[in-house]
Amino acid sequence: MKLLENISLKDHTTIGTGGSARFFLRCVSDDEIKQALTFAKTRNLDVFTLGGGSNLLIADDGFSGLVLQVATESVSIKVDGTVVASAGVNWDSLVTECCRRGLSGIEALAGIPGSVGATPIQNVGAYGQEVASVITEVHAIEKSTLRSMIFTSEECRFGYRQSRFKAEDSGKFIITSVGFKLSSTDIPTPRYEELRVSLLSDPKWQSGSREEKIILVRDHVLKIRKSKGMVLDPKDPDTRSVGSFFVNPVVSTALKDNISSIAAREGSLKPFIAHPAGDGQWKISAAWLIENSGIKKGQSLGGARVSNKHVLALTNPGTATTRDILELAKLITSTVEQKYGIRLEREPILLG
């Protein structure tokens, strides 16, 4: 391992902001991860685990501890749909390869930047799918003891954009690999309305084979994501973001009805829609709340800007600082809360 010092972290994130890491280590095996943790323990350093940097904001002052980049890249894909991938594997590359092999279950998660190891942490989901439905086990190393552990899907305690690794055990483990069980027989059935409409407009959708439909779902998801600036493109400043900055809120029936009343009284840019989330709760669109509170696409504050394509993405067109991004997020949060009584929850991790 090569220990680096005072390394700028901007280029290790998709948004391109933030300061430097006091120490930086790139680990290509579980043994190297344990060696790095031992080094940090002897120096009494905090450790942050870096994957693809796609859901991460780094403070402008940087991080005074050790940034450990997991760069393991082993993949095993079997014909029965059993998949085991190391934490450092590029997520979209894994999705693409599984689709190519006719395995379904993650095709609607195409185009999401980042690494495999990050997917269980926030239970990555999009367009009607989430990884919780296909993850069988998560392998991890406990930071404090260097003990290797295996968590079943149930033990991960998955929720909407949530898991034990993001909640009560945040920062306690380093995920080293993830096991999935995909299907070699299921026919893709799009559950997300925007994706369903897009597929029905494609003549190939009705006549295509099961394997062709898996590829079609992936292709149409990528098309939709690109239209929203949610697929990384060095030539498009709208993609210099952390993806969706806010989580879709889950609210009570009373709060849902109140928002519906406001929308009926004042009108809205798009119809207000709420989806049942169980136990009398409702999931509503953070993007709808933001747009109808008065925030505009392309609106800027300091060096930060709301994407020209999607209000859920806060972007760095070139000169933004992390402070700029957070100030813009604060403006959006307070604007939505003042109008609708909902305080939006930030999705990306803040380091430093």
- Angle subtended by helix axes 193-200 and 210-227, to nearest 10: 120
Amino acid at 119: T
CA distance 161 to 158: 8
Cα(175)–Cα(177) distance, integer angstroms: 6
Q: Residue 281, Cβ neighbours under 10 Å: how many?
A: 17
Residue 85 in 3-state DSSP?
strand
- 347 catalytic? Reply is yes
Cβ 240 vs Cβ 226: under 8 Å:
no
Q: What residues contact 255, with CB distance under 8 A and at least 6 apart? A: 341, 342
* DSSP-derived secondary structure for 242-293: -S--BPPPEEEHHHHHHHHHHHHHH--SS---EEEEETTEEEE-HHHHHHHH
Please enumerate in sequence order all residues whose Cβ is within 8 A of that of 188, keeping only pairs 6 or more positions apart, or say none.
104, 107, 210, 213, 214, 216, 217
Phi, psi of 139 (to 5 degrees): -95, 140
Ramachandran class of 229: left when φ > 0, alpha when ψ lies in -120 to 50, beta otherwise = left
Catalytic, out of 73, 327, 337, 347: 347
291 in active site: no
What is the C-alpha to C-alpha distance for residues 116 and 56, in angstroms, rounded to an integer?
A: 15
The active-site residue, picked from 130, 137, 161, 307, is: 161
Compute CA distances 216 → 83, 200, 205, 206, 232, whole Å. 21, 11, 7, 11, 20
**Active-site entry in 244, 291, 305, 307:** 244
142 catalytically annotated: no
Active-site residue set: 161, 244, 347
